[in-house]
Amino acid sequence: MIDSISHPPDTLPMDTITQSRTLLDQFYDTPEQDIVARIRELKQELGDQVLILGHHYQREEVFAFADASGDSLKLAQTAAQTDAPYIIFCGVHFMAEMADILTNDNQCVVLPDPAAGCSMADMANDEQIRRCWQELAEVVSPEECVTPVTYINSTAALKAFCGEHGGIVCTSGNARKILEWSWSKREKILFFPDQHLGENTALAMGIPSDDMIIWDPALHLGGNTPEAIRHACLILWKGFCSVHQLFKPEHAETMRNSHQGIEILAHPECSREVCQTADFVGSTEAIIQHVSNAAKGQSFAIATELNLVNRLRLQHPEHPIWFLSPMICMCSTMFRTDPQHLCAALTAIRDGKPVNRITVPHEQKRWAHLSLQRMLNVS
């Protein structure tokens, strides 16, 4: 074990970005098989000083090195439970923020590529949400009648807003429980940043479409009348996942015409129309479990990120598995984390100079932790 890495630094050196790029330049000139061998050596050398978390949407050559894998909720729980001094989060920025929120101050969370973001998370920022809250106050008293709920695919600032205003975080796996909890607190829910998860979950709960409105942040009152806001029990932010919006109902029809008995599985970030034509709608973990429990020979067409579908195909040769869309639907930001970035992150930690550390400001972390803890308690 290396003593110099036992206690992560509180702050990164000013030249951390330059250091990161220098490391990457070195590894991009190295054959990939040598990179893979180097990652194995570094993992063995660092031992339990480092925990690598891998989201299901990661490319296979990175996912293979994960000490723990899962969706956002599972990885959040793993981050909260580990005492490893260093956590490398192979995912996207909001996930690394979440790990920093849930871990101790003496733990260091590293995102191999800080440019790995989330297009959905970028569709709602703190300024927009606070302006929405102020505009709602022109019609109702939001502190008394609106529970803010943010999908876990959001920035720490939005999680902090929910913590500060009696709200909560949800995932695609626990959204129904979270909506039930939220309506037990107040009569209305402001759900952001993904319109489709909120809409599909509410429809499955029997909430009429007429009781939901869409909030467009570019328009005053989200483009709604005061009467519509007063009537609505669910206010859905106009946001979406760019990957899951590429699936169409006609893709399911084509699959059914081509493969008798095929089951269509869809993630709830897909549109209402896709989810309504699917045989099963569930989170990433739920889809994995559904395929694992199916009778041998059952065929599937799956509407979610390509890396996960390809991995399920490899893990379950007993099931014919197709990707629902005829187009490539890969999360480009998840794909940014490659073996070179992972190797550079491990090397920097080994040298006692971690790069790309993700830190959430203390006050923001306090409120965000509260909203995440509410979610974990409800879940």
pLDDT at 186: 98
DSSP string, 25-50: HHHHTS-HHHHHHHHHHHHHHHGGGE
Considering the domain architecture, whether residues 32 and 70 belong to the same structural domain is answered as yes
Considering the domain architecture, whether residues 125 and 235 belong to the same structural domain is answered as yes
Q: Please indicate, yes or no, if residue 379 is contained in any of the structural domains.
A: no
pLDDT at 30: 83
Considering the domain architecture, whether residues 54 and 103 belong to the same structural domain is answered as yes
DSSP string, 275-335: HHH-SEE--HHHHHHHHHHSPTT--EEEES-HHHHHHHHHH-TTS-EEESSSS----TTGG
pLDDT at 22: 66
Last residue of a domain, one of 209, 241, 273: 241
> Using alpha carbons only, what angle is made at residue 93 by residues 89 and 96, rounded to the nearest 5 degrees?
40
Considering the domain architecture, whether residues 190 and 131 belong to the same structural domain is answered as yes
Considering the domain architecture, whether residues 225 and 294 belong to the same structural domain is answered as no
Kindly report the CATH number assigned to the domain that includes residue 194: 3.40.50.10800
Considering the domain architecture, whether residues 290 and 226 belong to the same structural domain is answered as no
pLDDT at 11: 39
Q: Please indicate, yes or no, if residue 104 is contained in any of the structural domains.
A: yes
Range of the domain at 20: 3-117+334-361
pLDDT at 71: 85
Give the separation between CA 4 and CA 6, rounded to whole angstroms. Answer: 6
Q: Please indicate, yes or no, if residue 367 is contained in any of the structural domains.
A: no
Per-residue pLDDT of the chain (379 residues; tens, 9 = 90+): 233 233 333 434 444 455 566 667 777 778 888 999 999 999 999 999 999 999 999 999 999 999 999 887 788 789 889 999 999 999 999 999 999 999 999 999 999 998 898 989 999 999 999 999 999 999 999 999 999 999 999 999 999 999 999 999 999 999 999 999 999 999 999 999 999 999 999 999 999 999 999 999 999 999 999 999 999 999 999 999 989 999 999 999 999 999 999 999 999 999 999 999 999 999 999 999 999 999 999 999 999 999 999 999 999 999 999 999 988 767 888 888 999 999 999 999 999 999 999 999 999 999 999 999 999 899 7
Considering the domain architecture, whether residues 176 and 222 belong to the same structural domain is answered as yes
pLDDT at 379: 79
pLDDT at 351: 94
Domains of the chain: total: 3
